[in-house]
């Protein structure tokens, strides 16, 4: 589908032409590899790219006034919902609904930053020193690109983690393929592998040999349960 046609369909879903759509069309047009079209194989990547672009555009528009900023993010989410509807209809997909939030709010949700208020009620962003605030136990085979026999070894392993609610786009740590998790637990990959090594040295060695373990991983929420809040 040509980009012009795609954005015209999105505009029809919204019922109006907007500056936001013009910005998004320019951003997509400048992306290498899209060739002026949106293809079925690109749809998920385009969806996540446009989600991120709306975050950037929203950050440029917000001014710190709570009501105004809320309206900006609600409008951005409406644009993304129109984009999702067109992609799903045109390519027979079932892309999940995502909420557009500021990059700062995303960092707070993921535990990198904290929030507090000063005596005048102003919101302050602080550096979070302990983002992994719950202890989880893996109770089902987690999703992922490792062989099932390797992933099965996670069952019973307990890890410090942080729960991230809502639908969350992530990448398969083995294949790089885009996936969507409906709720996830974020963990330190190195801590996870070191803990796994005590139970299954073979499984731990597989991860050390095949993926980057100096990162943060997401476990889908359905594979784990919270056993302690730190």
Q: How confident is the model at residue 230 (pLDDT cuts 50, 70, 90)?
A: low
Q: Which residue has the higher pLDDT, 30 or 8?
A: 8
Mean pLDDT, rounded, of the chain: 90
Alpha-carbon gap, residue 182 to 197, rounded angstroms: 28
In this structure, the chain runs to a length of 230
Alpha-carbon gap, residue 76 to 78, rounded angstroms: 5
Contacts of 59 (CB under 8 A, 6+ apart): 102, 103, 104
pLDDT reading at 118 higher than 80: no
Q: How confident is the model at residue 38 (pLDDT cuts 50, 70, 90)?
A: low
Output the pTM of the full model.
Answer: 0.84
Q: Which of 35-39, 120-124, 157-161, 207-211 has the lowest mean pLDDT?
A: 35-39
- What is residue 37's predicted lDDT score, i.e. its pLDDT? 67
For residues 148-161, average pLDDT:
97
pLDDT reading at 32 higher than 60: no
Alpha-carbon gap, residue 103 to 85, rounded angstroms: 24
pLDDT reading at 40 higher than 70: no
Q: How confident is the model at residue 30 (pLDDT cuts 50, 70, 90)?
A: confident
CA torsion through residues 145, 167, 73, 70, sign: negative
Alpha-carbon gap, residue 3 to 38, rounded angstroms: 6
- What is residue 2's predicted lDDT score, i.e. its pLDDT? 84
Alpha helices in 63-178 (DSSP H): 66-91, 103-109, 148-152
CA torsion through residues 209, 210, 215, 220, sign: negative
pLDDT reading at 35 higher than 60: no
**pLDDT > 70: percent of the chain:** 94
Which two three-digit tokens encode residue 124?
């302050």
SS3 111: coil
Q: Which residue has the higher pLDDT, 179 or 29?
A: 179
Alpha-carbon gap, residue 133 to 230, rounded angstroms: 5
pLDDT reading at 36 higher than 70: no
Alpha-carbon gap, residue 159 to 136, rounded angstroms: 5
pLDDT reading at 112 higher than 90: no
pLDDT reading at 55 higher than 70: yes
Alpha-carbon gap, residue 130 to 161, rounded angstroms: 10
- What is residue 133's predicted lDDT score, i.e. its pLDDT? 87
Q: Which of 53-57, 110-114, 161-165, 184-188 has the lowest mean pLDDT?
A: 110-114
- Burial-class residue 195 by CB neighbours within 10 Å (0-12, 13-18, 19+): middle
Q: Which of 46, 62, 211 is nearest to 145 (CA)?
A: 211
Alpha-carbon gap, residue 161 to 177, rounded angstroms: 23
Q: How confident is the model at residue 139 (pLDDT cuts 50, 70, 90)?
A: very high
Beta bridge partners of 134: 161, 229
- What is residue 29's predicted lDDT score, i.e. its pLDDT? 79
Contacts of 176 (CB under 8 A, 6+ apart): none
- What is residue 127's predicted lDDT score, i.e. its pLDDT? 72
């Amino acid at each position: 589908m040509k980009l012009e046609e795609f954005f015209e369909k999105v505009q029809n879903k919204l019922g109006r032409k907007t500056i936001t759509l013009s910005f998004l069309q320019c951003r997509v047009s400048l992306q290498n590899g899209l060739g002026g079209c949106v293809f079925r194989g690109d749809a998920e990547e385009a969806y996540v790219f446009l989600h991120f672009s709306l975050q950037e555009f929203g950050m440029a528009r917000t001014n710190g006034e709570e009501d105004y900023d809320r309206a900006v993010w609600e409008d951005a989410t409406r644009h993304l919902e129109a984009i999702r509807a067109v992609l799903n209809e045109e390519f027979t997909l079932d892309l999940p609904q995502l909420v557009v939030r500021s990059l700062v709010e995303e960092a707070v949700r993921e535990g990198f930053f904290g929030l507090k208020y000063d005596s005048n009620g102003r919101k302050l962003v602080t550096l979070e020193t302990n983002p992994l605030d719950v202890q989880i136990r893996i109770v089902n085979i987690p999703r992922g690109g490792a062989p099932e026999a390797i992933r099965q070894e996670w069952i019973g392993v307990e890890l410090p983690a942080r729960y991230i609610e809502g639908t969350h786009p992530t990448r398969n740590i083995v294949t790089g393929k885009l996936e969507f998790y409906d709720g996830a637990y974020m963990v330190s990959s190195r801590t996870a592998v070191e803990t796994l090594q005590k139970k299954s040295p073979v499984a731990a060695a597989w991860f050390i040999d095949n993926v980057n373990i100096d990162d943060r991983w997401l476990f889908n929420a359905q594979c784990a349960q919270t056993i302690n809040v730190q």
